[in-house]
Amino acid sequence: MKLDNSQPIALSDFVSQFVGVGSQFEKFVAREYPELKSDSEFFVKEVRAGCIEADLVTFVGGGTLLAAVSAVIDVMEKVQIFTDFVEDFGGRFSKYFKRGGRAEGVSKGDLADFLRVTEAIASDPNGTARLEAAAFEDGERNVRAVFQFSTDEARRAAEEIADHRRELEASSGENQERALLRFVRPSVEAGKPGKKGGERGVIDSIAPRAMPILYASDLAEQRMRHEKIQLEGNIFRALFDVSVNVETSATGKPLAYRVTEVHAVIDGDPGDDLLDN
């Protein structure tokens, strides 16, 4: 692994890079080679100004160095495992370099690993990360597979990975295609996408109690903000026609509403504001 950075890398970002790749390698071996065990050790080969180059050495086939020496698979098979991993990881990770790109079959844990891998390069104004699978043959280093990404790609990937995570979280609850949402006090600041913010609201058709309001995407949050600006009256007396995903507890109790789409706004009649229960 080679990190070509223009500025010093924060220790936490540096560690995250290796943790993310190491976690993905262990999952890859467990998925593709379930009969093998995998323990990873990282050895820094060389550090020079503006660049960090390190070797990832993994004893595939056993949990200790002794077991590795007597492993049932030979060196070339191990090289092939590394090659397959770099190609698999690079193929899935690179999906997020494009807007709307999504890798199939990934879990929230996978997305957390991917996000870790972006951090060191995304925080650098002009950085590059490069992951190689290589073998020494007849004294020469033979590169079998390469995956590389830049600062711009890391930043785009971080955005898309965060969006994909919110989508997975939304799909785990109950979807309500059309519902009337009323905001309650105190909730003057907009909620942040995917996070529990200051907004709370009531959807009487689901539950009488006010719940935190989340947003499934930046687009949904921006549309809601636009609609609020257009209101001339009190937003707490308006009804918002929305599609939501209901975040529930293990027992099925509603915990929060995640707005997936805003359809229309209905001005309410003057009256007392609905109080938060």
Number of H helices, E strands in the chain: 6, 10
Q: Kindly report the backbone phi and psi dihedral angles of residue 91, in degrees, each rounded to the nearest multiple of 5, phi listed first.
A: -65, -40
In tens, the pLDDT along 10-40 reads: 999 989 998 999 889 988 888 888 777 655 5
Straight-line distance from the first to the last Cα atom of the chain, in angstroms, rounded to the nearest whole number: 54
What is the pLDDT at residue 72?
46
Q: Kindly report the backbone phi and psi dihedral angles of residue 82, in degrees, each rounded to the nearest multiple of 5, phi listed first.
A: -60, -40
Q: What angle do CA 203, 205, 207 make, to 5 degrees?
A: 65
* DSSP code per residue over 137-155: ETTEEEEEEEEEEEHHHHH
What is the pLDDT at residue 70?
41
Distance CA 96, CA 114 (A): 10
* DSSP code per residue over 29-44: HHHH-TTS---EEEEE
Amino acid, single-letter form, for residue 200: R
The pLDDT > 70 percentage for the chain reads: 80
Q: Kindly report the backbone phi and psi dihedral angles of residue 77, in degrees, each rounded to the nearest multiple of 5, phi listed first.
A: -65, -35
Helices (H), the chain: 11-32, 65-69, 75-93, 108-122, 151-171, 218-230
What is the pLDDT at residue 130?
95
Which own/partner contact pairs does 103-111 have at CB distance under 8 Å and 24+ positions apart?
A: 106/164, 107/168, 108/165, 108/168, 108/169, 109/23, 110/24, 110/27, 111/161, 111/164, 111/165, 111/168
Q: Which of 123, 117, 129, 115 is nearest to 1 (CA)?
A: 129
What is the pLDDT at residue 189?
41
In tens, the pLDDT along 199-248 reads: 899 999 999 999 999 888 888 899 999 888 888 768 888 999 999 988 87
- 38 forms beta bridges with none
- Is this model's pTM higher than 0.75 or not? no
